[in-house]
Chains A and B, each alone.
Chain A
Amino acid sequence: MALASPHVTAAAVAAVEYPDLVRQYRVTGVPKTVINGRVEILGAVPEAAFVSQVVESVA
């Protein structure tokens, strides 16, 4: 998605190395996706549903 839009940045965060972020975003399982620090998606999601949630997070 970051490649498809100049407005999107995407980071993979190694949970074990950043316990402060794990606490901040209440990560209890992986993968967990956090969009703009507030919208949360748990688990792996099919592409179409994932893109929808990302786009709708700023709609």
Chain B
Amino acid sequence: MDARTPADLEAALADLAAPVKLLFFTRTFGCDTCGSARRIVDSIASLSDRVTVEEFNLVLDKDEVRDYGIRRAPAIAVVGEADTGIRFYGAPDGHELVSLIDAIALVASRDSGLSGESRARLAEVEQPIDIQVFVTPT
């Protein structure tokens, strides 16, 4: 965790400029952390009326799994006006909770927060880039 308190995280969700959907992908069998991940997602949504949750099943909801490129469960797709390509795999606790809330705030603001130079370089990209960042919760 960084230095932010639960109150800070709640404040980050209090004034979202636009609605954000959390698409939660679960699996009925063989998913030890799907239950805790769903509880975390629900608790985030309870802090802001602009955050909503939709649940899909990794096995049954083939269209959504394909459309959002989901490979595993639990997974969360952070979606604003359109899909953002931001995903969280695994239960978002500890530091990942902070990252998820930051992602929600960024998506609501529709501003990546990157420097002008970074934006210019990314604007040149015309091929798919898939970034996976491996993290631990603490």
Residues of A within 8 A of B (CB): 1-18, 21-22, 25, 27, 30-37, 47-48, 51-52, 54-55, 57-58
Contacts and interface: CB of A to CB of B under 8 A. Distances in A.
A17 B122 contact: no
Given A10-B85, A18-B72, A54 B131 contact: yes
The secondary-structure label for the interface of chain B is mixed
Interface string B124-138: 111111111111110
A2 B92 CA distance: 19
B68 to A, nearest CB: 9
A55 B121 contact: yes
B111 to A, nearest CB: 8
A14 B89 contact: yes
A30 B135 contact: yes
B130 A31 contact: no
Interface residues of B, number: 43
Contacts, number: 152
Interface of B: 32-33, 69, 72, 84-92, 96, 99-100, 106-107, 110-112, 114-115, 117-119, 121-137
A3 B84 contact: yes
Contacts of B135: 12-15, 30-31
B21 to A, nearest CB: 15
A21 B134 CA distance: 9
Given A3-B84, A11-B88, A55-B124, A35 B118 contact: no
